Structure 1
Amino acid sequence: MTLLHNVPSHVLVSAVRYALGRRTYIVSDTVQAVSGQWSKLNRADKTVIVTDVVRAFKGGSTGMPQDAEQWARLLRIALDDPHLGLATREAQTINRILEGDIYS
């Protein structure tokens, strides 16, 4: 997959929203694209993405198990991002997802 540079962040947010719950290759492509641009996204867009992915896990709508693994990969990136400034409760929720306590 060719990653394009200077993609507006709202396009990546839209791609995440489109891919959530899909059961196709688009999930891994979307996670790869967003991961590759994560450091360039602003905090607000990162927060929207994390909120949407966490909501999908809580609702059991992340797609197939391999899709959930991809979304979990993105949550790990968010959890490790010191600039995101996750609240303690948000970080705990993400950790519960990654430990399998909340899983689609």
Structure 2
Amino acid sequence: MQIKVNGKKEDISAMLLSAERYALGRQTYIVQWTCEFIANNLHLLSEKDKKVMIRDIKEQEDKGYDRPYGWDCDKEEWMKLLKNLENDLKER
């Protein structure tokens, strides 16, 4: 089923970036859901926002938290998303 979203592509990209930043480091169901949704909708992200997400994910490790990505299963999701983002930028 297709849905119509009102707004500019830049608005949607910014909302996905906000979702990534909200979920990064959390230890809840939202991590998997967010990572999967973003990975399935990379076409909605601007190149700039993809680069920001890549930086966010990579720099999370340096924040000094005991579990910077959440649980191990959360880290797996973030690493998969990171790979998807990096591969998408290489293909462009």
Which TM-score band applies after superposition, normalised by the shorter structure? 0.7 to 0.9
Which of residues 54, 68, 85 in structure 1 aligns to 2:75? 68
Q: Which runs of 5+ in 2 are unaligned?
A: 6-10
Which residue does the alignment assign to 2:26? 22
Moved over 4 A (4+): 3-7
Residue deviations 1:16-74 (CA, integer Å, cap 9, x gap): 11001100000000001110111231101101111111111333511110000000001
- Select the structure that is richer in helix: 2
Written as runs of structure 1 = structure 2, the 5 A alignment for 1:26-65 is 26-59=30-63, 60=65, 61-65=68-72
The residue identity in structure 2 corresponding to 1:16 is: E
Q: Which runs of 5+ in 1 are unaligned?
A: 85-104
Which residue does the alignment assign to 2:12? 8
Q: Is the 8 A contact 2:12 2:44 kept in 1?
A: no
Query: Secondary structure of 1:63's partner?
Result: coil
TM-score of the superposition, structure 1-length normalised? 0.69
Identity %: 33
* Paired residue total: 83
TM-score of the superposition, structure 2-length normalised? 0.77
**Which fold has the larger relative contact order, with Cα–Cα distance below 8 Å and residues 6 or more apart in sequence?**
2
